[in-house]
Structure 1
Amino acid sequence: MRVPVSGPTPIRPIRVLRPGVQRGTLATQCAISTPKVGTRIAESEDEAAMSTGGHSQLGAESITDPVSGLPDGRFFELAADRKVALARRTLKPIAVAYFAIDDYSGFAPYLRDHAVRVLSRVLQNTLRDSDTLCLLREGVLAAMLDDTSETGAVWAADRIRRALLETPARDVVTISAGLACYPSHALGPAELLAEAEKALATAIQLGPGRIEIATAEQN
C-alpha cells in the first residue's frame, strides 16, 4: 500500500499595495461604513499636519531656521489657512500669539541668536505639541494655539513670559506679545494674522514685557 507523501503547503502570493492605494482604500471603507469615524480621521490628519513636526506636509517651500529650529513665516501663513478652515468645521476657537524679543535690534549678533534659541526652547517646552510654532521674522516668533479663547491665549502668553524669568537669560531676554483670536477678532486667516500684528505693535509701543490683545470685534 502506497502512502501519499504530502509536500509543503503552497503559499499564496500576497498582493502588496502601494501605501497610498492601501490608505485610500481603508479611508474609503471607513467613510462608507462609519461616516463619523471617517470625518474624525480626516480632522485628526489635519490636526497632525499643523504641529511643528508636520510642517513638511504644508509647504515644501518653507525653510527651517537653523538658529531656532522652527519653520519660517511662509509656513505659518499656510498653517493659518488650514487651522482656520478646521476651526470653522469643528466650531472651535484658535488664537495667534506673536512674541517679540524686547530690544532685539540693540543686541550684538551672538546675543540675538542666543535670545532666539532661548525663546524657541521655552515655547516648545511650554506649549502643547499640537500648537504650531514658527520664526516669523528676526526677533519675532509666533504660535498658533488650538482650541484657545482670548482668556486662554492671555494665560498662555503669561506662562511664556514667566517661564523666561526662570531661565539663566532672564536679565537679558524679555518679550512683548500680541494676541488675536478666531472668531472674536477675525474670521479669515489673513485678517487674524493682521490683528495679531497690530496687537504686537501696541505691546511693543507700551512695553517692554507687555501683552496686548486685539481690539477688533466681529459682528
Structure 2
Amino acid sequence: MTSTRKPKRTYQSLFKVLENKEPKSVAKKAASFTKSLPFSTKSQRLKEELDLLTSYSSDTIYRLRYNSMTYDYISPAIVKLLGFTPEEMKKINFRSLIIETKIISNGMKSIKSFDELEKTRKNGDVNKWQADYLVRTRDGRKIWLTDVSYPWFDDDGNIIGSIGSLRDINDRVEAEEKNSRELVKMANTDPLTGTANRRVFFESIDTEIKRSQRTESPFSILIADIDFFKKINDDYGHSTGDKILKEISEIMLTCVRDTDLLARIGGEEFGIFLPDTSEEGAYWVADRICKTVAKHNFFVKDSIMPIKCTVSIGIACNDENNELNSSELYKQADTRLYIAKNTGRNQVSKDEIVNLH
C-alpha cells in the first residue's frame, strides 16, 4: 500500500515542480522518485519525466541512429517545429526533408553530399556537429533550422549515432539575408542619388562586351555632365547642389528603360548604359534627356525664381565597327562630352560634329 502510494505522491509533486519551472528541484525530485520504483516502472517513469523535461524546452531534443538514419527518440517540440509527431518522425529519414545544408566547419558553404562528412563523423573525427538546414515542414513551408549534436557511443565505445538538438533559426536567417542585401545595395549604390555607382557602371559594360561578342548586338553608353555646376554650388551652396543632383538623376531615370543602367560616376557626372541600343537609339535618349532637363524648373529654399540647369552628353557605341573595351568606350564618350561642353553646352555629341539645339 505504501509503495504504491508513495510514487504517486512523488510524481504529483514532481509535476508541480515542473509547472513552477525549477530545474534543480526537478532533478532532485526525479532522482528520489525513480529510486523507489521497480525497473520496468522506473523505465516508463523515466521516459515520462524526459518527455516532461524536454517539453519545457523550445529546442527539439533527439537521439539519432546512424544505421537507419531514423530517430530513436525525439522530443514533442518537433510538432511545433515541423508539424510531425515524434512517432511520425521516427519513421521518416530526416535527410528526405532537407533542401539545403550549410556546415559551420565548412565556412557555412552549402554542400551537395553528406558522404564525406558522415565518414569523418562516424570515425569519431568530429566531436561536435553543427549545421544549418533549410527543411520542408509538414504543411510545405520552408524554414531554417540549426542542428548541434555530439556522438552517441555504444557500450564498446563505437559511435552508433548522435544526440543533439534542433532549433528554429528562420527569423535569424531572414534578418541576416536582409542585412546582406542591404550591404550589397550600399556597396553598389551612390548614397546621394540612389543610382548605381561607378564600379557597377564599368562592371556592367565589361559584362555586356562579353555578351555582345557572342550575340553581335550593339550597346551604347552616355556620359552626361551638368553644365556650370560649380557655379551653382558657389552661388547657392552645396545642399542646393545636392538637391539638383538628385532631381537630375530622377529626370534621367524617366528618360531610360528599366533595362538601362543609370550611374553617378563622378561629382556631377553620370553614366548611362544602354544595352541592345545602336548609336541612333542612344542619340535619341541623350537628346531627350537634354531637352527634359533644360525645361525643368529647379526650386530651392529662399529662392523666388527657379534655377535653370542643362546637361551636355557624349555618346559611344560598341558595334561591329567599334569594338572597344570599357575604358576605351568611356574615353571615347568622355572626349565627345568634352566637345559638347566646349562648343556651347546643353547638347549631344556622338562624333566630332556637334548637333546644336
Same fold (TM over 0.5): yes
Q: 1:139 & 1:64 partners in 2: Cα distance? A: 15
CA distance change for structure 1 residues 185 and 119 in 2, over 3 Å: closer, same or farther?
farther
TM-score (norm 2): 0.44
Matched, 1:202 2:327: no
In the alignment, is residue 16 of structure 1 matched against residue 99 of structure 2? yes
Verify: 1:177 aligned to 2:313, yes or no: yes
Work out the CA distance in 1 between the residues paired with 2:222 and 2:193.
Answer: 17
RMSD between superposed Cα atoms in Å: 2.8
Measured at CA, do residues 11 and 90 of structure 1 come closer, stay the same or move farther in structure 2, by a change above 3 Å? same
Residue 224 (structure 2) pairs with residue 99 (structure 1) = yes
Letter paired with 1:70: T
User: How big is the shift at 1:114?
Assistant: 1.8
Which runs of structure 1 show a deviation greater than 3 angstroms over 4 or more consecutive aligned residues? 7-13, 18-22
1:17–1:209: structure 2 CA closer, same or farther, 3 Å change rule? Answer: same
Q: Give the aligned partner of residue 84 of structure 1.
A: 209
- Distance of 2:288 and 2:278 partners within structure 1: 15
Equivalences for residues 123-162 of structure 1 within 5 A: 123-162=252-291
Tell me how far 1:214 sits from its aligned partner: 3.4
Check conservation: 2:196, 2:261, Cα contact below 8 A.
no
Q: Is the 8 A contact 2:296 2:308 kept in 1?
A: no
Cα distance in structure 1, aligned partners of 2:191 and 2:336: 28
Question: Is 1:65 paired with 2:190?
Answer: yes
Name which one, 1 or 2, has greater alpha-carbon Rg. Answer: 2
Which of 151, 168, 171 is the aligned partner of 2:297?
A: 168
The verdict on how the C-alpha distance between 1:112 and 1:185 changes in structure 2, with shifts beyond 3 A counting, is farther
TM superposition score normalised by structure 1: 0.69
Contact 2:313 2:337 (8 Å CA) reproduced: yes
- Conserved? CA contact 2:316–2:330, under 8 Å: yes
CA distance in 2, matches of 1:21, 1:207: 61
Distance in 2 (CA, whole Å) between partners of 1:212 and 1:185 is: 16
Q: Give the equivalent residue in structure 2 for 1:50.
A: none
Q: Which moved more, 1:76-85 or 1:98-107?
A: 76-85
Single out whichever of 142-151 and 124-133 deviates more from structure 2: 124-133
What SS does structure 2 have at the residue aligned with 1:141?
strand
> Residue 118 of structure 1 corresponds to which residue in structure 2?
247
Say whether the 8 Å CA contact 2:312–2:348 is kept in structure 1.
Answer: yes
Residues 85, 11 of structure 1: alpha-carbon distance in 2 compared, 3 angstrom cutoff: same
For residues 165 and 112 of structure 1, the distance between their equivalents in structure 2, rounded to whole angstroms, comes to 16
Deviation at 1:167, TM superposition (A): 2.9
Identify if the C-alpha distance between structure 1 residues 93 and 76 changes in structure 2 by more than 3 Å, giving closer, same or farther. same
Could you say if the C-alpha distance between residues 18 and 106 of structure 1 is closer, same or farther in structure 2, counting changes exceeding 3 Å?
farther
1:187 to 324, 334, 337: 324
1:100-121 superposed Cα distances (whole Å, 9 cap, x missing partner): 1010111121232122111110
Identity of aligned residues (%): 25
Shift of 1:87: 1.4
Task: Determine the structure 2 residue equivalent to 1:49.
Answer: none
By how many angstroms is 1:8 displaced? 6.9
Equivalent position SS for 1:137: coil
Equivalent AA in structure 2 for residue 15 of structure 1? I
Distance 1:186 1:173, change over 3 A: farther
More strand, by proportion: 2
Inter-partner Cα distance in structure 2 for 1:21 and 1:131: 36
- Per chain length, whose mean CA-contact separation is higher, i.e. which structure has more relative contact order (CA < 8 Å, sep 6+)? 1
Structure 1 residue runs of 5 or longer lacking an equivalent are: 1-6, 23-52
Shift of residue 11, structure 1, vs aligned partner:
5.2
1:78 Cα deviation after fit: 1.7
Taking the aligned partners of 1:181 and 1:159, their CA distance within structure 2 comes to 17
Is 1:214 the counterpart of 2:345? The answer is no
Gap change, CA 1:21 and 1:172, over 3 Å in 2? farther
